[in-house]
Chains A and B, each alone.
Chain A
Amino acid sequence: MTAVDAKSLIAGDLAERRRERLQHFRPAWLLAAAIPLVGLLATGARDDLWAQPAWILALQAFVWGLALFALPALGLGLWFPGRAARIALGLVAAVVAVLVAAGPALFDMSYPTGMEDHPIYQIGCASLTLAAGALVLAICAVSGAFVQRRRSAGALWLAAAIALVGIVTTTWHCVITGLDHTLPSHLGAGVLMLLLAGLVGAALHRRQRGP
Protein backbone atom coordinates (compact mmCIF):
# COMPACT_ATOMS: atom_id res chain seq x y z
CA MET A 1 0.00 0.00 0.00
CA THR A 2 2.78 2.35 0.93
CA ALA A 3 4.64 4.15 -1.83
CA VAL A 4 7.64 4.56 0.43
CA ASP A 5 10.49 2.10 -0.05
CA ALA A 6 12.70 2.65 2.98
CA LYS A 7 15.29 0.14 1.79
CA SER A 8 16.09 1.97 -1.44
CA LEU A 9 15.87 5.38 0.26
CA ILE A 10 18.41 4.32 2.89
CA ALA A 11 20.63 2.72 0.25
CA GLY A 12 20.47 6.00 -1.67
CA ASP A 13 21.31 7.91 1.49
CA LEU A 14 24.33 5.67 2.17
CA ALA A 15 25.51 6.12 -1.42
CA GLU A 16 25.14 9.88 -1.06
CA ARG A 17 27.12 9.84 2.19
CA ARG A 18 29.83 7.84 0.44
CA ARG A 19 29.97 10.38 -2.39
CA GLU A 20 30.20 13.21 0.15
CA ARG A 21 32.98 11.39 2.01
CA LEU A 22 34.88 10.82 -1.24
CA GLN A 23 34.50 14.48 -2.17
CA HIS A 24 35.58 15.62 1.30
CA PHE A 25 38.75 13.53 1.33
CA ARG A 26 39.82 14.05 -2.29
CA PRO A 27 41.93 17.17 -1.57
CA ALA A 28 43.50 15.53 1.48
CA TRP A 29 44.26 12.43 -0.55
CA LEU A 30 45.87 14.47 -3.35
CA LEU A 31 47.99 16.30 -0.79
CA ALA A 32 48.99 13.04 0.93
CA ALA A 33 49.88 11.47 -2.44
CA ALA A 34 51.97 14.54 -3.32
CA ILE A 35 54.09 14.29 -0.16
CA PRO A 36 56.23 11.28 -1.20
CA LEU A 37 56.46 12.69 -4.70
CA VAL A 38 57.73 16.06 -3.43
CA GLY A 39 59.97 14.26 -0.95
CA LEU A 40 61.56 12.23 -3.74
CA LEU A 41 61.94 15.28 -5.95
CA ALA A 42 63.59 17.16 -3.08
CA THR A 43 65.90 14.40 -1.88
CA GLY A 44 66.29 12.59 -5.18
CA ALA A 45 65.34 9.05 -6.16
CA ARG A 46 67.94 6.29 -5.90
CA ASP A 47 70.23 5.97 -8.93
CA ASP A 48 69.44 2.28 -9.38
CA LEU A 49 65.67 2.71 -9.11
CA TRP A 50 64.91 1.17 -12.51
CA ALA A 51 67.85 -1.25 -12.31
CA GLN A 52 66.28 -3.13 -9.39
CA PRO A 53 64.96 -6.65 -10.04
CA ALA A 54 61.54 -6.67 -11.69
CA TRP A 55 59.92 -8.52 -8.80
CA ILE A 56 60.99 -5.88 -6.27
CA LEU A 57 59.79 -3.08 -8.57
CA ALA A 58 56.44 -4.88 -8.88
CA LEU A 59 56.24 -5.25 -5.09
CA GLN A 60 57.07 -1.56 -4.61
CA ALA A 61 54.33 -0.62 -7.08
CA PHE A 62 51.95 -2.90 -5.17
CA VAL A 63 52.89 -1.20 -1.90
CA TRP A 64 52.20 2.23 -3.43
CA GLY A 65 48.76 0.91 -4.43
CA LEU A 66 48.13 -0.40 -0.93
CA ALA A 67 49.35 2.78 0.74
CA LEU A 68 47.56 5.27 -1.48
CA PHE A 69 44.36 3.43 -2.45
CA ALA A 70 43.39 0.18 -0.73
CA LEU A 71 44.24 0.93 2.90
CA PRO A 72 42.92 4.53 2.90
CA ALA A 73 39.69 3.32 1.27
CA LEU A 74 39.29 0.81 4.09
CA GLY A 75 40.16 3.31 6.80
CA LEU A 76 37.83 5.97 5.44
CA GLY A 77 34.86 3.63 5.05
CA LEU A 78 34.78 3.79 1.27
CA TRP A 79 35.43 0.11 0.69
CA PHE A 80 34.01 -2.80 2.68
CA PRO A 81 35.62 -6.14 1.88
CA GLY A 82 34.59 -9.18 3.89
CA ARG A 83 36.30 -10.29 7.09
CA ALA A 84 38.49 -12.91 5.36
CA ALA A 85 39.59 -10.40 2.74
CA ARG A 86 40.44 -7.86 5.45
CA ILE A 87 42.56 -10.38 7.35
CA ALA A 88 44.31 -11.42 4.11
CA LEU A 89 44.92 -7.77 3.22
CA GLY A 90 46.43 -7.06 6.64
CA LEU A 91 48.76 -10.06 6.39
CA VAL A 92 49.74 -9.22 2.80
CA ALA A 93 50.46 -5.61 3.79
CA ALA A 94 52.72 -6.76 6.63
CA VAL A 95 54.61 -9.24 4.44
CA VAL A 96 55.14 -6.85 1.51
CA ALA A 97 56.24 -4.11 3.90
CA VAL A 98 59.03 -6.38 5.15
CA LEU A 99 59.94 -7.51 1.61
CA VAL A 100 60.01 -3.98 0.21
CA ALA A 101 61.89 -2.52 3.17
CA ALA A 102 64.51 -5.28 3.23
CA GLY A 103 64.73 -5.61 -0.53
CA PRO A 104 66.60 -8.28 -2.54
CA ALA A 105 69.27 -8.56 0.16
CA LEU A 106 66.77 -10.54 2.19
CA PHE A 107 67.32 -13.46 -0.20
CA ASP A 108 70.73 -12.57 -1.60
CA MET A 109 73.20 -11.27 0.95
CA SER A 110 75.67 -10.48 -1.83
CA TYR A 111 73.19 -8.10 -3.50
CA PRO A 112 75.13 -4.88 -4.22
CA THR A 113 74.77 -2.40 -1.40
CA GLY A 114 75.54 0.61 -3.59
CA MET A 115 77.13 2.51 -0.74
CA GLU A 116 78.78 1.64 2.50
CA ASP A 117 76.48 2.13 5.46
CA HIS A 118 77.18 4.82 8.02
CA PRO A 119 75.22 5.85 11.12
CA ILE A 120 74.44 9.22 9.55
CA TYR A 121 72.70 7.45 6.66
CA GLN A 122 70.67 5.43 9.14
CA ILE A 123 69.56 8.59 10.88
CA GLY A 124 68.82 10.22 7.51
CA CYS A 125 66.67 7.32 6.25
CA ALA A 126 64.82 6.93 9.53
CA SER A 127 64.15 10.68 9.52
CA LEU A 128 62.86 10.57 5.94
CA THR A 129 60.57 7.63 6.78
CA LEU A 130 59.24 9.39 9.87
CA ALA A 131 58.96 12.80 8.18
CA ALA A 132 57.01 11.49 5.18
CA GLY A 133 54.75 9.52 7.52
CA ALA A 134 54.31 12.43 9.91
CA LEU A 135 53.18 14.76 7.14
CA VAL A 136 50.59 12.25 5.94
CA LEU A 137 49.59 11.66 9.56
CA ALA A 138 49.03 15.41 10.01
CA ILE A 139 46.82 15.51 6.90
CA CYS A 140 44.80 12.56 8.18
CA ALA A 141 44.39 14.19 11.59
CA VAL A 142 43.35 17.59 10.21
CA SER A 143 40.94 16.17 7.64
CA GLY A 144 39.14 13.99 10.20
CA ALA A 145 40.16 10.76 8.50
CA PHE A 146 40.63 8.88 11.76
CA VAL A 147 37.05 9.28 12.90
CA GLN A 148 35.25 8.01 9.83
CA ARG A 149 34.84 4.44 11.05
CA ARG A 150 32.72 3.58 14.05
CA ARG A 151 35.42 1.41 15.62
CA SER A 152 38.86 2.76 16.41
CA ALA A 153 40.34 -0.29 14.65
CA GLY A 154 39.52 1.59 11.45
CA ALA A 155 42.31 4.03 12.35
CA LEU A 156 44.81 1.16 12.13
CA TRP A 157 44.23 0.83 8.37
CA LEU A 158 45.21 4.47 7.96
CA ALA A 159 48.18 4.02 10.28
CA ALA A 160 49.34 1.11 8.12
CA ALA A 161 48.95 3.25 5.00
CA ILE A 162 50.99 6.03 6.62
CA ALA A 163 53.76 3.64 7.63
CA LEU A 164 53.88 2.15 4.12
CA VAL A 165 54.14 5.63 2.56
CA GLY A 166 57.15 6.30 4.81
CA ILE A 167 58.81 2.95 4.03
CA VAL A 168 58.34 3.03 0.28
CA THR A 169 59.35 6.70 -0.01
CA THR A 170 62.64 5.91 1.74
CA THR A 171 63.08 2.73 -0.31
CA TRP A 172 62.83 4.76 -3.52
CA HIS A 173 65.30 7.29 -2.15
CA CYS A 174 67.98 5.17 -0.50
CA VAL A 175 70.51 3.23 -2.54
CA ILE A 176 71.97 1.30 0.42
CA THR A 177 70.60 -2.23 0.32
CA GLY A 178 72.38 -4.02 3.16
CA LEU A 179 70.09 -5.47 5.81
CA ASP A 180 72.19 -3.81 8.53
CA HIS A 181 70.94 -0.52 7.12
CA THR A 182 67.45 -1.27 5.77
CA LEU A 183 66.07 -3.26 8.70
CA PRO A 184 66.58 -0.60 11.38
CA SER A 185 66.32 2.61 9.38
CA HIS A 186 63.65 1.66 6.80
CA LEU A 187 61.59 -1.11 8.36
CA GLY A 188 62.27 -0.12 11.98
CA ALA A 189 61.30 3.48 11.36
CA GLY A 190 58.23 2.26 9.47
CA VAL A 191 57.13 0.15 12.45
CA LEU A 192 57.72 3.14 14.74
CA MET A 193 55.58 5.24 12.40
CA LEU A 194 52.86 2.57 12.47
CA LEU A 195 52.81 2.65 16.27
CA LEU A 196 52.84 6.44 16.41
CA ALA A 197 50.10 6.85 13.79
CA GLY A 198 48.04 4.10 15.42
CA LEU A 199 48.24 5.78 18.81
CA VAL A 200 47.44 9.24 17.42
CA GLY A 201 44.59 7.84 15.33
CA ALA A 202 43.12 5.88 18.24
CA ALA A 203 43.40 8.93 20.53
CA LEU A 204 41.68 11.19 17.99
CA HIS A 205 38.98 8.58 17.45
CA ARG A 206 38.43 8.26 21.19
CA ARG A 207 38.30 12.01 21.68
CA GLN A 208 35.87 12.70 18.89
CA ARG A 209 33.66 9.61 18.94
CA GLY A 210 34.03 8.43 22.52
CA PRO A 211 35.30 5.02 23.69
Chain B
Amino acid sequence: MTGPAGAPGRGPSPGRSAPPGLHLLMEGYLDGDARAFAALHAALLPRLTAFLVHLVRDSAAADDLVQATWLKAHLARSRFQVQGASPDGAVQAWYFTIARNLAVDHLRAQVRERRRRDPGEPDGGERDRLAEIPSDLPTAEELEIGEAEAQEIASRVRDALAQLPAGQREIVELHKFQGLSMAEIAARLRIREGAVRVRAHRAYKALARWLTPSLRALLLLLARGGA
Protein backbone atom coordinates (compact mmCIF):
# COMPACT_ATOMS: atom_id res chain seq x y z
CA MET B 1 0.00 0.00 0.00
CA THR B 2 1.16 3.46 -0.71
CA GLY B 3 -0.25 6.01 1.64
CA PRO B 4 -0.56 9.68 1.10
CA ALA B 5 3.07 10.17 2.04
CA GLY B 6 6.49 8.65 1.78
CA ALA B 7 8.23 6.64 -0.88
CA PRO B 8 6.19 4.13 -2.92
CA GLY B 9 5.87 0.83 -1.08
CA ARG B 10 7.00 2.27 2.23
CA GLY B 11 3.68 3.74 3.18
CA PRO B 12 3.09 7.01 4.94
CA SER B 13 6.19 8.23 6.64
CA PRO B 14 6.98 10.94 9.12
CA GLY B 15 9.86 11.83 6.80
CA ARG B 16 7.49 13.91 4.68
CA SER B 17 6.99 17.51 5.57
CA ALA B 18 4.56 18.10 8.40
CA PRO B 19 1.52 20.33 7.92
CA PRO B 20 2.50 23.91 8.76
CA GLY B 21 1.38 25.31 12.09
CA LEU B 22 1.32 21.93 13.87
CA HIS B 23 3.59 23.14 16.67
CA LEU B 24 1.37 26.15 17.35
CA LEU B 25 -1.63 23.85 17.64
CA MET B 26 0.42 21.57 19.89
CA GLU B 27 1.41 24.51 22.12
CA GLY B 28 -2.24 25.50 22.44
CA TYR B 29 -3.28 21.93 23.19
CA LEU B 30 -0.57 21.55 25.83
CA ASP B 31 -1.87 24.71 27.49
CA GLY B 32 -5.36 23.15 27.57
CA ASP B 33 -6.95 24.66 24.45
CA ALA B 34 -9.59 22.17 23.26
CA ARG B 35 -9.99 23.94 19.90
CA ALA B 36 -6.28 23.65 19.21
CA PHE B 37 -6.46 19.94 20.01
CA ALA B 38 -9.41 19.47 17.63
CA ALA B 39 -7.44 21.18 14.85
CA LEU B 40 -4.33 19.11 15.61
CA HIS B 41 -6.44 15.94 15.55
CA ALA B 42 -7.95 16.89 12.20
CA ALA B 43 -4.51 17.64 10.73
CA LEU B 44 -2.83 14.41 11.85
CA LEU B 45 -5.60 11.81 11.88
CA PRO B 46 -5.47 10.87 8.17
CA ARG B 47 -1.66 10.49 8.27
CA LEU B 48 -1.68 8.44 11.45
CA THR B 49 -4.46 6.19 10.17
CA ALA B 50 -2.69 5.58 6.87
CA PHE B 51 0.61 4.95 8.68
CA LEU B 52 -0.89 2.36 11.03
CA VAL B 53 -2.97 0.63 8.35
CA HIS B 54 0.25 0.27 6.36
CA LEU B 55 2.10 -1.19 9.35
CA VAL B 56 -0.46 -3.67 10.64
CA ARG B 57 -2.45 -4.32 7.40
CA ASP B 58 -5.67 -4.55 9.38
CA SER B 59 -7.94 -1.52 9.33
CA ALA B 60 -9.90 -2.52 12.44
CA ALA B 61 -6.73 -3.03 14.47
CA ALA B 62 -5.29 0.16 13.01
CA ASP B 63 -8.37 2.04 14.16
CA ASP B 64 -7.83 0.81 17.73
CA LEU B 65 -4.15 1.72 17.52
CA VAL B 66 -4.98 5.22 16.27
CA GLN B 67 -7.23 5.77 19.29
CA ALA B 68 -4.55 4.35 21.60
CA THR B 69 -1.94 6.63 19.99
CA TRP B 70 -3.96 9.74 20.78
CA LEU B 71 -4.63 8.60 24.34
CA LYS B 72 -1.01 7.62 25.02
CA ALA B 73 0.24 10.88 23.60
CA HIS B 74 -2.30 12.70 25.76
CA LEU B 75 -1.06 10.99 28.91
CA ALA B 76 2.57 11.72 28.05
CA ARG B 77 2.00 15.22 26.68
CA SER B 78 3.81 17.03 29.50
CA ARG B 79 7.06 15.51 28.17
CA PHE B 80 6.69 16.81 24.66
CA GLN B 81 9.63 18.98 23.62
CA VAL B 82 10.38 20.55 20.28
CA GLN B 83 13.48 18.72 19.04
CA GLY B 84 15.35 19.28 15.81
CA ALA B 85 15.16 22.11 13.31
CA SER B 86 11.49 21.73 12.45
CA PRO B 87 8.98 22.33 15.27
CA ASP B 88 6.13 21.03 13.08
CA GLY B 89 8.18 17.95 12.24
CA ALA B 90 8.81 17.36 15.95
CA VAL B 91 5.07 17.24 16.63
CA GLN B 92 4.53 14.79 13.79
CA ALA B 93 7.48 12.65 14.88
CA TRP B 94 6.09 12.55 18.43
CA TYR B 95 2.78 11.05 17.29
CA PHE B 96 4.33 8.75 14.70
CA THR B 97 6.81 7.38 17.25
CA ILE B 98 3.99 6.51 19.64
CA ALA B 99 2.02 4.97 16.76
CA ARG B 100 5.01 2.93 15.61
CA ASN B 101 5.64 1.59 19.11
CA LEU B 102 2.02 0.60 19.49
CA ALA B 103 2.12 -1.15 16.11
CA VAL B 104 5.27 -3.05 17.16
CA ASP B 105 3.62 -4.11 20.43
CA HIS B 106 0.49 -5.15 18.54
CA LEU B 107 2.39 -7.26 16.00
CA ARG B 108 4.53 -8.87 18.69
CA ALA B 109 1.39 -9.68 20.69
CA GLN B 110 -0.10 -11.26 17.58
CA VAL B 111 3.00 -13.41 17.13
CA ARG B 112 2.86 -14.51 20.78
CA GLU B 113 -0.86 -15.21 20.58
CA ARG B 114 -0.45 -17.28 17.40
CA ARG B 115 2.40 -19.27 18.97
CA ARG B 116 0.32 -19.89 22.08
CA ARG B 117 -2.69 -21.12 20.07
CA ASP B 118 -0.87 -23.07 17.33
CA PRO B 119 2.79 -23.68 18.24
CA GLY B 120 3.50 -25.44 14.93
CA GLU B 121 1.88 -22.87 12.65
CA PRO B 122 3.97 -20.32 10.73
CA ASP B 123 3.26 -16.73 11.62
CA GLY B 124 0.77 -14.68 9.62
CA GLY B 125 3.33 -12.28 8.21
CA GLU B 126 3.74 -10.26 11.40
CA ARG B 127 7.51 -10.82 11.41
CA ASP B 128 7.78 -9.40 7.90
CA ARG B 129 5.72 -6.41 8.94
CA LEU B 130 7.87 -5.91 12.02
CA ALA B 131 10.95 -5.88 9.81
CA GLU B 132 9.33 -3.23 7.57
CA ILE B 133 8.63 -0.81 10.37
CA PRO B 134 10.55 2.40 9.76
CA SER B 135 13.49 3.13 12.00
CA ASP B 136 13.96 6.78 11.02
CA LEU B 137 11.82 7.98 13.92
CA PRO B 138 13.22 8.90 17.32
CA THR B 139 12.86 6.15 19.88
CA ALA B 140 10.33 6.35 22.69
CA GLU B 141 13.28 6.57 25.09
CA GLU B 142 14.64 9.59 23.24
CA LEU B 143 11.30 11.33 23.55
CA GLU B 144 10.83 10.06 27.13
CA ILE B 145 7.33 9.00 26.13
CA GLY B 146 7.33 5.67 27.89
CA GLU B 147 8.55 7.18 31.14
CA ALA B 148 6.01 10.00 31.06
CA GLU B 149 3.15 7.68 30.25
CA ALA B 150 4.18 5.28 33.00
CA GLN B 151 4.43 8.12 35.53
CA GLU B 152 1.03 9.50 34.60
CA ILE B 153 -0.63 6.11 34.72
CA ALA B 154 1.16 5.28 37.97
CA SER B 155 0.12 8.48 39.71
CA ARG B 156 -3.52 8.09 38.72
CA VAL B 157 -3.72 4.37 39.30
CA ARG B 158 -1.83 4.28 42.61
CA ASP B 159 -4.68 5.84 44.58
CA ALA B 160 -7.22 3.53 43.01
CA LEU B 161 -4.96 0.50 43.53
CA ALA B 162 -5.04 0.90 47.28
CA GLN B 163 -8.70 -0.01 47.21
CA LEU B 164 -8.23 -3.34 45.38
CA PRO B 165 -8.04 -6.76 47.08
CA ALA B 166 -4.41 -7.80 47.63
CA GLY B 167 -4.45 -10.58 44.99
CA GLN B 168 -5.68 -8.26 42.26
CA ARG B 169 -3.45 -5.38 43.32
CA GLU B 170 -0.35 -7.58 43.09
CA ILE B 171 -1.14 -8.53 39.51
CA VAL B 172 -1.78 -4.96 38.38
CA GLU B 173 1.45 -3.81 40.02
CA LEU B 174 3.47 -6.55 38.33
CA HIS B 175 1.81 -5.88 34.98
CA LYS B 176 1.76 -2.09 34.91
CA PHE B 177 4.60 -0.99 37.15
CA GLN B 178 7.11 -3.78 36.53
CA GLY B 179 6.09 -4.43 32.95
CA LEU B 180 5.72 -8.21 33.25
CA SER B 181 3.55 -10.11 30.79
CA MET B 182 0.62 -12.20 31.97
CA ALA B 183 2.68 -15.36 31.40
CA GLU B 184 5.58 -14.00 33.45
CA ILE B 185 3.23 -13.00 36.26
CA ALA B 186 1.69 -16.48 36.22
CA ALA B 187 5.15 -18.04 36.47
CA ARG B 188 6.20 -15.75 39.29
CA LEU B 189 3.01 -16.28 41.31
CA ARG B 190 2.85 -19.99 40.39
CA ILE B 191 -0.72 -19.84 39.21
CA ARG B 192 -2.29 -20.47 35.82
CA GLU B 193 -2.12 -17.71 33.22
CA GLY B 194 -5.91 -17.89 32.83
CA ALA B 195 -6.33 -17.15 36.52
CA VAL B 196 -3.99 -14.18 36.19
CA ARG B 197 -6.04 -12.84 33.28
CA VAL B 198 -9.31 -13.25 35.19
CA ARG B 199 -7.91 -11.41 38.22
CA ALA B 200 -6.42 -8.71 36.01
CA HIS B 201 -9.75 -8.30 34.22
CA ARG B 202 -11.56 -7.90 37.54
CA ALA B 203 -8.93 -5.50 38.82
CA TYR B 204 -9.05 -3.26 35.72
CA LYS B 205 -12.84 -3.30 35.82
CA ALA B 206 -12.75 -2.14 39.44
CA LEU B 207 -10.09 0.46 38.70
CA ALA B 208 -12.18 1.82 35.86
CA ARG B 209 -14.63 3.18 38.38
CA TRP B 210 -11.98 5.55 39.78
CA LEU B 211 -10.06 6.52 36.66
CA THR B 212 -10.69 9.28 34.13
CA PRO B 213 -12.51 8.24 30.92
CA SER B 214 -9.42 8.80 28.77
CA LEU B 215 -7.16 6.64 30.92
CA ARG B 216 -9.88 4.02 31.20
CA ALA B 217 -10.19 3.87 27.42
CA LEU B 218 -6.42 3.55 27.00
CA LEU B 219 -6.24 0.67 29.47
CA LEU B 220 -9.10 -1.00 27.61
CA LEU B 221 -7.34 -0.61 24.27
CA LEU B 222 -4.04 -1.88 25.67
CA ALA B 223 -5.75 -4.87 27.23
CA ARG B 224 -7.56 -5.57 23.95
CA GLY B 225 -4.36 -5.36 21.94
CA GLY B 226 -2.42 -7.50 24.38
CA ALA B 227 0.22 -4.78 24.74
Contacts and interface: CB of A to CB of B under 8 A. Distances in A.
Contact of B32 (A7, A17, A151): A17
Interface stretch (B66-74, B113-121, B171-179, B194-202): B66-74
B214 A9 contact: yes
Residue among A5, A16, A150, A151 with max Cβ neighbours from chain B (10 Å): A150
Interface stretch (B36-44, B102-110, B162-170, B181-189): B36-44
Nearest to A11: B34
B215 to A, nearest CB: 9
Interface string A17-39: 11001000000000000000000
Nearest to B34: A14
B126 interface: no
A41 interface: no
Given A10-B74, A13-B213, A2 B64 contact: yes
A114 interface: no
Contacts of A14: 29, 32-34, 37
- How many residues of A sit at the interface, in one of the four size bands? 20 to 34
B217 A80 contact: no
A11 B214 CA distance: 9
25 contacts: A2-B63, A2-B64, A4-B67, A6-B74, A6-B217, A7-B38, A7-B70, A9-B213, A10-B71, A10-B74, A11-B37, A13-B214, A14-B33, A14-B34, A14-B37, A15-B34, A17-B32, A18-B32, A77-B31, A77-B32, A80-B32, A80-B33, A80-B35, A83-B24, A148-B31
Given A1-B60, A9-B71, A77-B31, 8 more contacts: A2-B60, A4-B64, A5-B67, A16-B212, A80-B33, A148-B31, A150-B27, A150-B30
